[in-house]
């Protein structure tokens, strides 16, 4: 029986294959380990024993012509980084098993029409980063199983119709970063299964209606970095499966109403870095699945109500770096799933109460770098899930008592680099979940007893670079969980011991660069948790009032360090940065210039 004979032969074949392996044989054999006489010079070959796939590595060998006698059973061939200039016809005619060919960065200037003849199993072809200006129609006719084709970073000024004939199985095509000015109407009609098309970094000034009509399976289209002036209707109407569309870094001044109709699967739309001035009520009509919309760095001066009404699943809206001056009531109506809203670096001066109505799920809001001056009461009404609110660099001068009402979930509030001189009492009283409050670089001169009422969970408080002269005795009492307090770069002359003593969890305290003459460490009990105390840059009077600080500093040099070394951030740059904590005496004259820790015990013997 023939079937029985085959059954008996299979175990025998497996046994022979097993016993033929060299002692301790690895699954991957390099040319240096096992002699592969058919490997062309000067390449290296490796054979995977499990899959029996042969890989041939000829990368960066300074070759000017293709290596001869490449084994016909080779599966992958690396020829990148050489100096071929020309790829002749039938160059790979005997490599019918090859499924991967890398020719990138090989100085190729020309490819003859039948260069790829014989590569009927080829899946991946890399021709990027060469000097190619032209490829004849039907160049890839012999590679009908090709799945990915990379032609980016060449010098193509145009692409011939018919170039992609036969590539009905292609999934990925990269034509980015060439010099394409125009594309034939039907250049992509031979690619019905294409999933990703990259045309970024070219010079395309417009898109024809028929250009993408056959790409019904396309999932991602990158048109960024071209010279597009506008988006007309029906350009993308057939792209019903498209999920990501990149149109950023063009010169788009206008988008036709309903331009994105039919794109029911689109999840990501990037229109940033263009010249858009107006958005219409129908601009985004039909984008029912959109999750991310980026419109930053345009020239948008106003937002009309109902502009975003169809975007019910939108999670991120980027509108930063525009020219928006005001927000009317219900500007963002319909965006019930939005989580991130960025309006930073606009010209916002007026925000109406109710502007953010409907934003039930917004967690992060960027309003920094505007010139709002005064925020009205209840301006954030309805934004109950907000976690982070950025209002830095916004010309704010006063915080009203009800500005932050209803923000019961807020964790981080950034108010630094404003001109805030007045914060009305209990302005933060409803922010029970707040963990971080940044008020540095403002104009606060005093802190009232009721200022931080309600902030029972606050952990970080930044008050540096204000004009603080005094702090009321009860100011910090509500801050039972505070462990980081920065009061540096102010004008404090005294700091009563009882002001800091309620902060039983304090780990970090900075009083650098004030006008303090004395300081008591009496607030530190025997089981203190303070880890760093910064006191440099003050006007210390080194008399008996500082004996406690001197003793504490000497006993706990880690808590009151003389300096701390850190490393500057940068690419492979490790430049040490030293932050000094000098306790320099200003008085009495005999000790002037000395560090308190370097004074002698005798100087305090009479205390």
pLDDT tens digit sequence for 357-392: 999 999 999 999 999 978 999 999 999 999 999 999
> In whole angstroms, what is the distance from residue 173 CA to residue 161 CA?
15
Tokens standing for 299?
Answer: 């020239």
Task: Write down the domain spans for the chain.
Answer: 42-161, 195-299, 306-443, 445-606
Query: Does 14 score more than 60 pLDDT?
Result: no
- The chain-wide mean pLDDT, for the chain, equals 91
Q: What are 275-314's pLDDT values in tens digits?
A: 999 999 999 999 999 999 999 999 999 999 889 999 999 9
Q: Which of the listed CATH numbers 1.10.3720.10, 1.20.1050.140, 3.80.10.10, 2.30.110.20 matches domain 306-443?
A: 3.80.10.10
Query: Does 37 score more than 60 pLDDT?
Result: no
The conformation of residue 61, written as its DSSP 8-state character, comes to S
- Contact (Cβ atoms closer than 8 angstroms) between residue 322 and residue 273: no
Average pLDDT over residues 90-104: 96
Query: Does 10 score more than 60 pLDDT?
Result: no
Q: What are 574-597's pLDDT values in tens digits?
A: 788 899 999 999 999 989 999 999
Query: Does 19 score more than 80 pLDDT?
Result: no
Give the pLDDT score at 526.
Answer: 66
Average pLDDT over residues 317-340: 96
Query: Does 428 score more than 60 pLDDT?
Result: yes
Give the pLDDT score at 487.
Answer: 98
* Residue, of 406 and 186, whose pLDDT is higher: 186
For 428, other C-beta atoms within 10 Å of its C-beta total: 25
Sorting pLDDT into bands at 50, 70 and 90, what band is 26?
Answer: very low
Q: What is the CATH number of domain 195-299?
A: 3.80.10.10
Give the pLDDT score at 51.
Answer: 80
Could you tell me how far CA 219 lies from the centroid of its own chain?
Answer: 22
* Measured distance between the N- and C-terminal CA atoms of the chain, rounded to whole angstroms: 112
- Contact (Cβ atoms closer than 8 angstroms) between residue 83 and residue 106: yes
Give the pLDDT score at 603.
Answer: 87
Bridge-based pairing of strands 268-270 and 244-246 is parallel
Q: Which residues contact 250 (CB under 8 A, 6 or more apart)?
A: 223, 224, 225, 226, 227, 228, 229, 273, 274
> In whole angstroms, what is the distance from residue 379 CA to residue 354 CA?
6
Query: Does 216 score more than 70 pLDDT?
Result: yes
Q: Which of the listed CATH numbers 3.80.10.10, 3.40.640.10, 3.30.1050.10, 3.40.50.20 matches domain 42-161?
A: 3.80.10.10
Q: Which of the listed CATH numbers 2.120.10.30, 3.40.50.1100, 3.40.50.300, 3.80.10.10 matches domain 445-606?
A: 3.80.10.10
Give the pLDDT score at 33.
Answer: 44
> In whole angstroms, what is the distance from residue 395 CA to residue 403 CA?
15
**Fold agreement (306-443, 445-606):** yes
Lowest mean pLDDT among 78-92, 204-218, 412-426, 526-540: 526-540
Which whole-number Å values give the CA distances from 198 to 175, 203, 221, in the listed order? 6, 13, 6
Closest among 139, 155, 69, 67 to 107, alpha carbons compared:
155
Read off the pTM: 0.89
Closest among 334, 341, 343 to 315, alpha carbons compared:
341
């Amino acid at each position: 029986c023939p079937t029985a004979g085959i059954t008996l032969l299979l175990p025998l074949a497996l046994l022979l294959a097993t016993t033929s392996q060299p002692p301790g044989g690895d699954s991957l054999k390099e040319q240096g380990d096992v002699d592969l006489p058919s490997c062309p010079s000067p390449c290296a070959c490796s054979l995977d024993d499990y899959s029996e796939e042969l890989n041939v590595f000829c990368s960066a060998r300074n070759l000017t012509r293709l290596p001869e006698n490449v084994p016909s059973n080779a599966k992958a061939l690396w020829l990148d980084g050489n100096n071929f200039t020309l790829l002749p016809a039938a160059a790979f005619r005997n490599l019918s098993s090859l499924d991967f060919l890398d020719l990138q960065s090989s100085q190729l200037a020309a490819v003859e029409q039948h260069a790829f003849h014989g590569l009927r199993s080829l899946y991946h072809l890399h021709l990027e980063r060469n000097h190619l200006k032209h490829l004849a129609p039907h160049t890839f006719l012999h590679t009908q199983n090709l799945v990915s084709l990379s032609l980016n970073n060449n010098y193509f000024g145009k692409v011939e119709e018919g170039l992609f004939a036969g590539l009905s199985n292609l999934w990925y095509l990269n034509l980015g970063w060439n010099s394409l000015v125009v594309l034939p109407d039907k250049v992509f009609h031979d690619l019905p299964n294409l999933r990703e098309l990259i045309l970024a970094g070219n010079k395309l000034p417009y898109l024809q209606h028929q250009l993408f009509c056959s790409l019904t399976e396309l999932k991602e289209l990158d048109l960024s970095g071209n010279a597009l002036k506008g988006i007309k209707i029906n350009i993308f109407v057939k792209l019903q499966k498209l999920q990501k569309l990149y149109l950023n870094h063009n010169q788009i001044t206008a988008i036709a109403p309903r331009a994105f109709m039919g794109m029911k699967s689109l999840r990501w739309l990037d229109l940033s870095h263009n010249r858009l001035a107006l958005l219409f009520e129908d601009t985004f009509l039909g984008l029912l699945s959109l999750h991310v919309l980026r419109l930053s760095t345009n020239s948008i001066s106003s937002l009309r109500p109902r502009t975003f009404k169809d975007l019910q699943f939108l999670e991120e809206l980027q509108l930063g770096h525009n020219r928006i001056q005001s927000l009317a009531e219900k500007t963002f109506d319909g965006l019930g799933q939005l989580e991130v809203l960025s309006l930073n670096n606009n010209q916002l001066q007026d925000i109406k109460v109710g502007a953010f109505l409907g934003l039930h799920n917004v967690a992060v809001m960027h309003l920094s770098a505007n010139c709002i001056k005064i925020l009205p009461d209840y301006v954030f009404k309805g934004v109950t899930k907000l976690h982070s609110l950025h209002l830095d660099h916004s010309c704010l001068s006063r915080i009203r008592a009800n500005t932050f009402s209803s923000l019961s979930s807020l964790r981080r509030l950034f108010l630094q680099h404003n001109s805030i001189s007045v914060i009305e009492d209990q302005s933060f009283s409803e922010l029970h979940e707040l963990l971080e409050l940044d008020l540095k670089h403002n104009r606060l001169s005093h802190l009232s007893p009721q200022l931080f009422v309600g902030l029972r969970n606050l952990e970080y408080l930044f008050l540096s670079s204000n004009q603080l002269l005094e702090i009321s005795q009860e100011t910090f009492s509500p801050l039972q969980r505070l462990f980081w307090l920065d009061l540096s770069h102010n004008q404090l002359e005294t700091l009563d011991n009882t002001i800091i003593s309620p902060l039983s969890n304090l780990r970090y305290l900075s009083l650098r660069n004030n006008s303090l003459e004395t300081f008591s460490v009496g607030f530190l009990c025997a089981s203190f948790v303070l880890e760093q105390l910064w006191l440099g840059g003050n006007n210390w009077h080194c008399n008996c009032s500082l004996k406690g600080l001197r003793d504490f500093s000497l006993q706990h040099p880690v808590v009151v360090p003389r300096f701390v070394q850190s490393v500057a951030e940068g690419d492979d740059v490790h430049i040490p940065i030293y932050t000094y904590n000098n306790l320099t005496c200003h008085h009495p004259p005999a000790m002037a210039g000395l560090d308190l820790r370097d004074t002698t015990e005798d100087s305090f013997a009479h205390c």
